[in-house]
Chain A
Amino acid sequence: MTAIAQTRPTVPRGTAGRRLARRSARYLFVAPALFYLLLLMFYPLAYTFNLSVFDVNAGNFLRGGAAFVGLQNYLDFISSPDFLSSLAITLIFTVGSLVFQHVIGFCFALFFNTGFPLSGLLRAIMMVVWVLPAVVSASLWRWMYAGSYGVINAFLGLFGIHTTQAWLTDPSTALPAVIISNIWIGIPFHMMLVFAGLQTIPTTLYEAAAIDGASAWRRFWSITAPLMRPVILTALLLGFVHTFKVFDIIYVMTSGGPANATNVLSIAVYKLSFEYFRLGDGAAAANVLLVIPLLLSIVYLFFRRREETSL
């Protein structure tokens, strides 16, 4: 920026027309990005917000004439009896998934980082889980959790635990069951991010520490952990945002049931908009769903900035 400002006086001054052309050229360069942002990011957001302050429903979505209700839709959603339970379920689902995904993913990354033979191939195979369409994985898990013919109960039977527990249809086990499936799906993502981060740590650091007599435990806490902090934070943030709005896995496995036991916010939003056609309420609910990851992203950016300036 400063460089441009310094060179500016040396640019020969032309006629007014040329100046205009030069000035508009500047805007032309920004135009594609601006256009993209406005059309694909800003417009949907603005549209959703606009929708959320009107009482839009099946009767007036096409005909028009929805009444302006201000923030009433938001108040209705937040004060509805199911909101707090849905929020709690979403948070349990997100945090429960994230902690295990990350810890297990981290362990796998450390393991693969030792570079044993065929580790590259095995790593690639692990990625298959992440690449599989969510609908496929979820259907698979749904089948595995079945009570009378599910492979999980058959496996438990090998250890003498004979049960016909239908994991997904019991309100007390449905949420843990869905979380476990989601952990399985998310491990490769965390593994890859952490693995990439581990690769950037110079081996000389470990060599020096080893010469100084640091144990493996000590090397992990004094070298790996602090140097991996930005990667860990990024992975957790991305994971949080992604998990907080997970829809497909739960929709396929339980559709929010049994008896609302897995009714995360995204399912509630979907039902409001596309099953009940209460589009105004649905848009308000979608914005509420957006706010929490957004706040977290702001906190993250704030910490990143502070960290960068302190460097």
Chain B
Amino acid sequence: MSASRHGRMRSRLAALAVAAVAVTGLAACAPGGGGAAKPSHSDGPVKLTWWDYYQPGTTASDGLDTMIKKYEKSHPNVTVDRQYVAYDQLKQTLLQSAGAASVPDIVIINSPDHQQFAETGIAADLTKQLKDWGQLSKYPKGLIASATYKGKVYGLPITANCLALFYDKKALADAGLKPPTTWDELKEDALKLKSGSRYGLSFSAINNQQAVFQWLPTLWQAGGDLNKLTSPDSVRALDFWAGLVKDGSVSKEALNWDQTAAEVEFAQGRAAMMINGPWQIPTLAKDAPNLDYGVALLPKDKESASALGGENYLITDGPNEQASWDLVKWLQQPANLEYLAKQNGSLPTRSDTQPFSDSDAIKTFTKQLQVARPRAYGSNYAEIADAVVIAIQSTISGSATAKDALDKAAATVKPLLP
């Protein structure tokens, strides 16, 4: 190889290096900052993009389609492009599309995720609009709290729910039992109801947030809370839950059941009772039309409690903020809201609506709602919930004692709480 060749090689390498530096140069700045443009309202035709995770073909999804079509008819300048995004991909997809500055205008999100999204800056601050609207007082405080971040409100609820105890009337009658009202009764009854391939109770202790949602009522009933996981009350709450599995009243597979799977066990007669929410009522009607079931308040310990769940509308901070708010406002009109609540199996989200007023199950749920508490643990809830799930799962599976598991979880959770 000649000297000149060496030189050429060097210059080529230099060119490569320059190109490389140019590319790194593009990236060598603090990431982020590519936020959305500020709102600029116009009266021309508006196309709104809408995301939700209501599976196509379900009554909830059909209900939304009906309402959106109705709105488009009465507002000819607005078209709504509704897209389905699977629940477990929604958060990730939303964040990625925000990074690419192409977020949808309206998103339906699970209420405990709302604060996290408010923190990202994707969500539009609706505090002023809500004040002008003047109807916020008609909504239960807990529901609004889930959409509130640092004193500002970033959305409105579409559905509300809480957990209660479903029971198979025939199974209980055969065993000569009434629905349990205390922990002791629940423990005894669940054991008595176990027969053959049927377990006494089903709940979800799966490896995601649903398990925490399901366990929180027990934790609160005992007088514990996520900010005092090491307290004897919290330990007792976890021991009680794990004890139900150890007794054989609940199948070990609860560790792999989401709330839908817990419902399937109950619908198929493989569990005599289940802890679940009102959204299962339309599903049960479809899965087990002949099952005669009742709904009772969750058994209490020191106090009664349930977990408040639901979904919220989130409007993104962008040029279509006003048009989106108009649509959400329209959907909040009592008649429209009642229709959607029926389609969704939702409890009333406004004091002036009364869907399913004739159903005993909904009456019980509405009563249960009064002691239901929101999961308002700040924007780190997802990570807090994961630490708690590990504690729940390791206790139920017997790989750790409730105390050790909760001590470990508390160490993770403490710095994450607001």
Q: Which of A60-76 contact B (CB under 8 A)?
A: 60-66, 68
Decide yes or no whether A274 CB sits under 8 A from chain B: yes
Separation of A62 and B397 alpha carbons in the complex (Å): 40
**Nearest CB of chain A from residue B343's CB, rounded to whole Å:** 29
The verdict on A169 contacting B120 (CB below 8 Å), with A63-B33, A277-B95 known, is no
Q: A60 contacts B32, CB within 8 Å?
A: yes
Check A5 against B31 for contact (C-beta < 8 Å).
no
Inter-subunit contact B399/A62 (CB<8 Å): no
Question: CB distance A274 to B35 under 8 Å?
Answer: no
CB of A259 within 8 Å of the partner chain? yes
- Against A, the Cβ 8 Å flags (1 = close, 0 = not) of B21-46 are 00110111111111110000000000
Q: Cα distance A171–B122 when bound, in Å?
A: 38
Q: How does the 8 Å CB contact mask read for A1-34 relative to B, with 1 for contact and 0 for none?
A: 1100100000000000000000000010000001
Establish whether residues B394 and A276, one from each chain, have CB atoms under 8 Å apart when the complex forms: no
Size bracket of the B interface: 35 or more
Kindly identify which residue among A42, A68, A258 contacts B207, using a CB–CB cutoff of 8 Å.
Answer: A258
A58 part of interface (Cβ distance < 8 Å):
yes
Q: Does B177 touch A at the CB level, under 8 Å?
A: no
The interface residues of chain B lying within 8 Å CB-to-CB of A170 are 252, 397
Contact A43–B30 (Cβ < 8 Å): no
Contacts of A168 in B (CB 8 A): 256
Residues 183-205 of chain B: 1 if any A CB is under 8 Å from the residue's CB, otherwise 0? 00000000000000100000000
Contacts of B206 in A (CB 8 A): 257
Does A260 sit within 8 A of B, measured CB to CB?
A: yes
| 9-residue interface stretch from A46-54, A97-105, A208-216, A300-308 | A46-54
Q: List residues of A (173-230) whose CB comes within 8 Å of B's CBs.
A: none
Asked if A259 and B397 sit within 8 Å, CB to CB, the answer is yes
Determine the residue in chain B with the shortest Cβ distance to A63. Answer: B121
User: Which of B66-74, B280-288, B379-387 contacts the other chain?
Assistant: B379-387
CB distance from A265 to the nearest CB of B (A): 16
* A255 contacts the other chain (CB 8 A): yes
B98, B99, B386: which contacts A275 (Cβ < 8 A)? B386
How many interface contacts (CB-CB < 8 Å) are there between A and B? 150
Q: Is B393 an interface residue (CB 8 A)?
A: yes
Could you say which residues of chain B place their CB within 8 Å of the CB of A171? 393-394, 397, 399
Question: Looking across the interface, which residue of chain A has its beta carbon closest to that of B25?
Answer: A46
Residues on A with C-beta less than 8 A from B5 are: 5
Tell me if B91 counts as interface (CB < 8 A to partner A).
yes
Known: A259-B397, A276-B382. A169 touches B31 (CB 8 A): no
* CB closest residue in chain A, given B22: A38
Jot down 6 A-B pairs with beta carbons below 8 A, ordered by A. A50-B24, A54-B31, A62-B98, A147-B252, A148-B270, A170-B397
Name B's A-contacting residues (CB within 8 A).
Answer: 1-2, 5, 15-16, 19-20, 23-24, 26-36, 91-92, 95, 98-99, 116-117, 119-122, 197, 206-208, 251-256, 270, 379-380, 382-383, 386, 389-390, 393-394, 397, 399-400
Given A62-B121, A254-B207, 19 further pairs, Cβ under 8 A: A34-B19, A46-B24, A47-B31, A59-B121, A59-B379, A61-B32, A61-B120, A63-B35, A64-B30, A65-B32, A166-B255, A170-B252, A171-B397, A257-B207, A257-B390, A259-B393, A259-B400, A260-B390, A275-B382
